[in-house]
């Protein structure tokens, strides 16, 4: 059964931190008048272990969309406590059967820069039918922007939508096409992490004991904390895309060295969820939810792939405010694991 195969593929992508972090991203397929879409807060990685998809009345959604109304409360066709993904509208506006929305590290390294669209054009040209949508708050606003972008050029039959400061939507009527498209984009947009960056670290001795915290054992994290320029990015441009802000807040917890970090630890009694300590490492609170650890790793994975000759373009204060004061995101954050 194709749906079973799609769920398997969703689980595979969901387990790949270069594509999906925690409960982020979502997937759907259309079956007649029903849109099967991931439930909010559920993990794509669990697609084969539990029922993470909800049936939605697609005909009803489409009737609203066609009249220009995107502020829709989707009708769920079964009794459930779960809510459909915040990004359900995005799935409904794409005409293809299979739709996959991810937050891929490789693409994000372009999408958070001012030159992102032009650089993607250089890399992809016309090899796939793609379009680029400026940043919009996830939900109805983003759904509307995607709808407009693909309907402005119907003859192009868009199958890839790049979302500025956010991620990628890919779609196809056949599952093997969708998988091939995802692999193609990953390959075309891939940027290697420079060997200099990975080799530049000199491990500092552990001067202090931060009880209740441990160092993240990850070579990318070690490269990141030992690179002055990347640390500078975290200092200046922490809020690069929505999920990062929703789960890790609007400012980085950064320290210049272990001594400063220790002072804060003694003064406040803890370091919050994590602390980035320059030239030392990334301290993580013991038992920090996996969702947040995934978000941290995603951020540093994007940072180490950024072309530093480009201009980084973070979310604005207004963008951040509308994410942090949004009930739908508070719900998603509250049920995260
Ligand atoms: Zn998203």
pLDDT digits (tens, 9 = 90+) for 58-71: 999 999 999 999 99
Does pLDDT of 15 surpass 70?
yes
The H-or-E segment that residue 283 falls in is strand 281-285
Residue 129 contacts residue 157 (beta carbons within 8 Å): yes
pLDDT at 201 over 90: no
The pLDDT of residue 213 is above 90? yes
Whether 195 shows a pLDDT value over 90: the answer reads no
In tens, the pLDDT along 245-268 reads 999 998 999 999 999 999 999 999
* For residues 139-151, average pLDDT: 96
pLDDT at residue 325, rounded to an integer: 83
Burial class (CB in 10 A: 0-12, 13-18, 19+), 159: buried
Question: Residue 243 C-alpha to ligand 1 middle, in angstroms?
Answer: 7
**Cα 232 from Cα 186, distance rounded (Å):** 27
- What is the residue-averaged pLDDT of the chain? 93
CA 140–ligand 1 middle distance (angstroms): 12
pLDDT for the residue 192: 83
- Tell me, what's the pLDDT at 207? 80
Edge-to-edge order in the sheet of strand 98-102: 53-57, 34-38, 26-31, 98-102, 167-172, 160-163, 130-133
Q: How confident is the model at residue 327, as a pLDDT?
A: 72
pLDDT higher than 90, residue 194: no
Mean pLDDT over 121-138 rounds to: 96
Distance 104 CA to ligand 1 centre (A): 10
Domain residue extents for the chain: 2-189, 195-304+307-334
Confidence check: pLDDT of 187 > 90: yes
Pairing of strands 98-102, 167-172: antiparallel
Task: Tell me, in angstroms, the distance from the centre of ligand 1 to residue 176's CA.
Answer: 23
- What mean pLDDT comes out for the span 16-22? 93
Residues 179-186: contacts with CB within 8 Å, 24+ apart?
Answer: 179/9, 181/128, 182/13, 182/19, 182/100, 182/102, 184/127, 184/128, 185/104, 185/106, 185/107, 185/124, 185/128, 185/160, 186/18, 186/19, 186/104, 186/106
Kindly state which CATH superfamily the domain 2-189 is placed in.
Class II aldolase/adducin N-terminal domain (3.40.225.10)
* pLDDT for the residue numbered 205: 75
Name the token pair of 137: 């708050």
pLDDT grade for 188, boundaries at 50, 70 and 90: very high
CB 65 within 8 A of CB 90: no
Distance from the alpha carbon of residue 87 to the mean position of ligand 1, in angstroms: 7
Does 337 have pLDDT greater than 70? no
Band of pLDDT at residue 332, cut at 50, 70 and 90: low
């Amino acid at each position: 059964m194709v749906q079973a195969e799609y769920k398997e593929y969703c689980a595979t992508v969901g387990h790949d931190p270069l594509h999906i972090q925690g409960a982020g991203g979502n997937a759907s397929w259309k079956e007649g008048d029903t849109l099967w879409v991931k439930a909010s807060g559920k993990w794509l990685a669990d697609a084969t272990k539990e029922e993470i998809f909800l049936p939605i009345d697609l005909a009803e959604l489409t009737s609203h969309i066609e009249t220009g109304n995107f502020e829709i409360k989707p009708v769920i066709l079964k009794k459930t406590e779960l809510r459909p993904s915040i990004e359900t509208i995005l799935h409904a506006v794409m005409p293809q059967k299979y739709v996959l929305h991810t937050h891929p590290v490789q693409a994000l390294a372009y999408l958070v820069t001012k030159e992102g669209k032009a650089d993607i054009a250089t890399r992809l040209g016309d090899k796939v039918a793609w379009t680029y949508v400026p940043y919009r708050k996830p939900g109805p606003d983003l759904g509307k922007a995607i709808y407009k972008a693909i309907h402005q050029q119907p003859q192009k039959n868009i199958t890839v939508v790049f979302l500025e400061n956010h991620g990628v939507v890919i779609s196809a009527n056949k599952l093997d096409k969708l998988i091939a498209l995802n692999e193609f984009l990953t390959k075309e947009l891939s940027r290697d992490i420079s060997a200099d960056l990975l080799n530049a670290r000199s491990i500092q001795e552990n001067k202090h004991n931060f009880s209740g915290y441990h160092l993240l054992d990850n070579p990318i994290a070690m490269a990141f904390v030992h690179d002055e320029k990347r640390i500078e990015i975290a200092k200046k441009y922490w809020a690069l895309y929505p999920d990062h802000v929703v789960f890790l807040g609007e400012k980085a917890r950064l320290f210049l060295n272990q001594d400063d970090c220790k002072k804060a630890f003694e003064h406040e009694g803890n370091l919050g969820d994590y602390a980035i300590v320059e030239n030392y490492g990334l301290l993580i609170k013991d038992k920090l939810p996996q969702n947040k650890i995934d978000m941290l790793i995603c951020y540093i994975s994007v940072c180490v792939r950024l072309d530093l000759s480009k201009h980084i373009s973070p979310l604005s204060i207004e963008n951040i405010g509308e994410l942090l004061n949004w009930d739908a995101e508070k719900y998603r954050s509250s049920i995260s694991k």
